[in-house]
Structure 1
Amino acid sequence: MTKLTVIGAGAWGTALAITARKAGSDVVLWTRHSAHSDLLNTENVNSSYLPDIPLAAGITATSDIRHAAQADILLLVTPAQHARETLYRLKPELEAETILVMCSKGIEQESGRLMSEIMEEIAPSNPHAILSGPNFAAEIARGLPAAATLACRHQELGESLVKAIGLPTFRPYLTDDVIGAQIGGAVKNVLAIACGLVAGGRLGENARAALITRGMAEILRLGEKLGARAETLMGLSGFGDLILCCTSQTSRNFSLGAALGQGDILEEILQERTAVTEGVYTASAICRLAEKFGIEMPICAAVDEILNGGTAVSSAIEDLLARPFRDEKLAGF
């Protein structure tokens, strides 16, 4: 039996632990706090994140990082901005053959690095992969049908991971485009905030459709510069995730944008949340990458200005709408 540990006991980590256990893996769920692991073990439910969904029988929770690291596969599900810290904590305990699967979506705010680049920097000898796609945690935990992109550079590794987490209702599709599998998930976080702003400001469904479409152009533009394949970006981890998170209040990024569009204050929204809203931190990293490569990403730039530049929502929207008319192949918006 495959020994698998999920690092991070939020909603997504818990859903993946349930999925992996159903797939037949021996599963440990790691959480930072011992009080939380005790509750998970005694109550058999993650009442903080998925209160209505019992844990699959056989899942063991722990706050001991050494115990957690003793696994064939580690699913890394802490927030993207904590990935570096988490990997540094894990590194002394890792065996060289332990497989690292990054399941968080984002770009490191300080360095502008992708999650795969951080894994390669800190744990270069370990095999690694990326899991990303249009996946709301509660639906996965309930066993509703879903699919995801599983990216790694070696087919044999990918096939072993599919066996460890794949189910008829959770279908990982393999690719070797590790870069492409990360771009869509990171950028859609920011675009989902933009679509939430449209919804909260009652700007209409036409405006949201335009944002999704032109947002996809921004994903493709950045992906091309970073070496991603267009077909990956148009797949589950790109276009699929974009559609899901730009059309539902279940998305933390969309709901944050909707609250901002209704006039709520960013700091107050974040204070009320137990889960991290990745797009808030990824927005500035994306804009620095766009500047570095000399590409236009005006929607992401507008969101960054609202989140980090002090620009009013109404002013950012006016600036977007004031952009000159251009050929669709060239237009940023």
Structure 2
Amino acid sequence: MDAARRIAVLGAGSWGTALAIVLAQNGHPVALWARDAGLAARSAADRVNARYLPDCPFPEGLDITADLPAACRAAEQIWLALPTKSLAPFLETQARHWSPNALIVNAAKGFEPGTGRFISQLVADHCPAAGFAVISGPTFAHEVATGKPSAITVASADLASAEVVAATLRNARLRTYPTADVVGVELAGGLKNVLAIAAGVADGFGFGANARAALITRGLAELMRLGAALGAQASTFMGLAGVGDLVLTCTDDQSRNRRFGLKLAQGYRTEEAVAAIGQAVEGIGATAEGARLAARFGVDMPIVHAVHQVLYDGVPAREAVSLLLAREPRHHED
């Protein structure tokens, strides 16, 4: 195990809680911050986050609190597990209070609403002296928290920082793989949720396994085209952060974005589907930013465009997905 490091995990949803559990099991003192003071108090008393992971008790070394300054005080690593739509204002008000030597680790997937900026860019704006890493990969929170075998990619422009974070998280059941391709990992992590919505819609209409496989394959091609335009490494999209996370999110109903697509196929409106799921659906905002990035870089992304039509242009889901699946490729696997 790596040397013990004082860690703050900000965000006590299912993913933040799962990460805090693993990090504490690895021997690191962890402060898990919850925005909801009531949730923090109940979880501290019961030693479990009953709202999100009711069968995953807290290990020794994990404390939960609603006191943000206390959670971040003397933290060597600050892990961000908050909805991406709230990260920019959160960083603007809070980051100035953090140690300039802290290593910031982004565990969220998505982009800044309205700009399409990556979370790495937001952190650089508000914590210019801090190190930065991002984690991504095929990892459902409950499976990670319960110790099922999993693997994850850790990216940082400073490969030494990626190695530090990878060692902090790694154990016998969770494998970690460092890389320097921050852009590729962030792009794949954000846009795979859009493709999962499309897969959920297609499955909800009973289009079958063939259609799902076609969407995944063509969706991967879209990710790689945009990645190439942004300077990402092609190998990233063929690894855990790319095809690994894409397959997981598009095929398993633990995925909130896939379940959201299923709800759309059942006739739910966007707000109704989100309410039924009861947690953030990152793919909704990522759809708008993915379309924005595609237009900015002149990249053809028909699946992202189809999901955007459904969520933002009022096109019926069946019509959008049917037209997409009937689309003639302009070249191999377009």
Answer whether TM exceeds 0.5 for this pair: yes
Establish whether residue 119 from structure 1 lines up as the match of residue 129 from structure 2: no
Deviations 1:274-323 (A, max 9, x none): 31010011101100111111111000110011111111012212332443
Between 177-186 and 260-269, report the one with greater CA deviation.
260-269
Which residue identity does 1:264 align to in structure 2? Y
Establish whether residue 304 from structure 1 lines up as the match of residue 308 from structure 2: yes
Residue among 31, 42, 61 paired with 2:64: 61
- Rounded to whole Å, the distance in 2 between the matches of 1:57 and 1:34 is 21
Compute the displacement of 1:214 (Å).
Answer: 0.2
Deviations 1:98-151 (A, max 9, x none): 110000001222111011111111111110100111000000000011010000
- Work out whether residues 183 and 233 of structure 1, in 8 Å CA contact, stay in contact via their aligned partners in 2: no
Give the equivalent residue in structure 2 for 1:263: 267
Deviations 1:135-189 (A, max 9, x none): 0000000001101000012232222222322111111100011111111111110
Give the equivalent residue in structure 1 for 2:149: 145
SS of structure 2 residue aligned to 1:100: strand
Residue among 242, 246, 251 paired with 2:250: 246
Establish whether residue 93 from structure 1 lines up as the match of residue 97 from structure 2: yes
Residue among 27, 45, 49 paired with 1:42: 45
What is the correspondence of 1:250-329 to structure 2 with a 5 Å cutoff?
A: 250-328=254-332
Between 109-118 and 310-319, report the one with greater CA deviation.
310-319
SS of structure 2 residue aligned to 1:53: coil
- Rounded to whole Å, the distance in 2 between the matches of 1:231 and 1:65 is 38
- Rounded to whole Å, the distance in 2 between the matches of 1:322 and 1:33 is 46
SS of structure 2 residue aligned to 1:159: helix
SS of structure 1 residue aligned to 2:24: helix
Runs of 4+ in 1 over 6 A off after TM superposition: none
Deviations 1:16-72 (A, max 9, x none): 000101111100000112211111110111111111111112211111111122200
- Rounded to whole Å, the distance in 1 between the matches of 2:202 and 2:322 is 12
Structure 1's unaligned 5+ residue stretches are none
- Rounded to whole Å, the distance in 1 between the matches of 2:280 and 2:304 is 19
Question: RMSD over aligned Cα, in angstroms?
Answer: 1.2
Structure 2's unaligned 5+ residue stretches are none
What is the correspondence of 1:162-173 to structure 2 with a 5 Å cutoff?
A: 162-173=166-177
Give the equivalent residue in structure 1 for 2:207: 203
Establish whether residue 161 from structure 1 lines up as the match of residue 165 from structure 2: yes
- Rounded to whole Å, the distance in 1 between the matches of 2:28 and 2:329 is 54
Give the equivalent residue in structure 2 for 1:73: 77
Compute the displacement of 1:325 (Å).
Answer: 4.1
Compute the displacement of 1:3 (Å).
Answer: 0.2
Cα distance change, pair 274–325 in 1 and its aligned pair in 2 (3 A) = closer
- Rounded to whole Å, the distance in 2 between the matches of 1:163 and 1:266 is 40
- Work out whether residues 256 and 277 of structure 2, in 8 Å CA contact, stay in contact via their aligned partners in 1: no
Give the equivalent residue in structure 2 for 1:136: 140
Establish whether residue 193 from structure 1 lines up as the match of residue 162 from structure 2: no
Between 287-296 and 88-97, report the one with greater CA deviation.
88-97
Establish whether residue 32 from structure 1 lines up as the match of residue 35 from structure 2: yes
- Rounded to whole Å, the distance in 2 between the matches of 1:137 and 1:325 is 36
- Rounded to whole Å, the distance in 2 between the matches of 1:45 and 1:18 is 10
Which residue identity does 2:184 align to in structure 1? G
Which residue identity does 1:308 align to in structure 2? Y
- Rounded to whole Å, the distance in 2 between the matches of 1:325 and 1:156 is 42
Q: How many residue pairs get matched?
A: 330
Normalising by structure 1, we get a TM-score of 0.96
- Work out whether residues 237 and 243 of structure 2, in 8 Å CA contact, stay in contact via their aligned partners in 1: yes
Between 137-146 and 318-327, report the one with greater CA deviation.
318-327
SS of structure 1 residue aligned to 2:27: coil
Compute the displacement of 1:12 (Å).
Answer: 0.3
Cα distance change, pair 325–84 in 1 and its aligned pair in 2 (3 A) = closer
Give the equivalent residue in structure 2 for 1:21: 24
What is the percent sequence identity of the aligned residues?
Answer: 39
- Work out whether residues 151 and 178 of structure 1, in 8 Å CA contact, stay in contact via their aligned partners in 2: yes
